[in-house]
Amino acid sequence: MQRLILFRHAKAERRADSGEDFDRDLTDRGRSDAALMGRLLAARGLSPDRVLVSGARRTRATWSAMAGAFPDAEVVIDDALYNAHAGALLSAAQTSDAAATVMVIAHNPGLHEASMALLARGAAGAADLYEVRSGMPTATAGVFDLTTGTARLEGWLLARDHGGGGGE
């Protein structure tokens, strides 16, 4: 794997009809933000070869809204990514050795912690640490270049910075 994209699901409804967190769907703004971020990543040449998606409804809906931007991506739905901790998310991504670019669509706090862990292992500058430490709102993509053996932050892309909502 040469590049890792950690993507927090887009804005979800506060409560599912079932009452279960796992069943929460995206809001209309969430669908719009996910589609926007898919187009933005693709326009920047950041197209995943393999996408690992938590089994939760909101992460699957996030991928569904983004999928048109990445028609050739191999998709794996994995219930173990639901509310997974940083180590589990990074381990899952590392099992995708044959893919040059892997995207993980999952949840906080695990994604944010995974981003911080990658920066701690790499040679992150103060500006990168500050930006990532400030949080990972919905519809945020953390893009990490792994070609040198350590993680280098290639981009911290928030939907709200590109005409979307995001922010939670």
For the stretch 8-35, pLDDT in tens is: 999 999 999 999 999 999 999 999 999 9
Which stretches of the chain are assigned E, i.e. beta strand? 3-8, 50-54, 74-78, 101-106, 140-145, 152-158
CA distances from 52 to 30, 163, 165 (A): 19, 26, 24
Domain at 16, CATH number: 3.40.50.1240
Q: Is the pLDDT of residue 3 over 80?
A: yes
Kindly state whether residue 79 falls inside one of the protein's structural domains: yes
Q: Could you tell me the residue range of the domain that residue 77 belongs to?
A: 3-162
pLDDT single digits (tens) 51-107: 999 999 999 999 999 999 999 999 999 999 999 999 999 999 998 778 999 999 999
- Report how many domains make up the chain: 1
Cβ neighbourhood burial of 75 (10 Å; 0-12, 13-18, 19+): middle
Kindly state whether residue 167 falls inside one of the protein's structural domains: no
* pTM beyond 0.85: yes
Kindly state whether residue 15 falls inside one of the protein's structural domains: yes
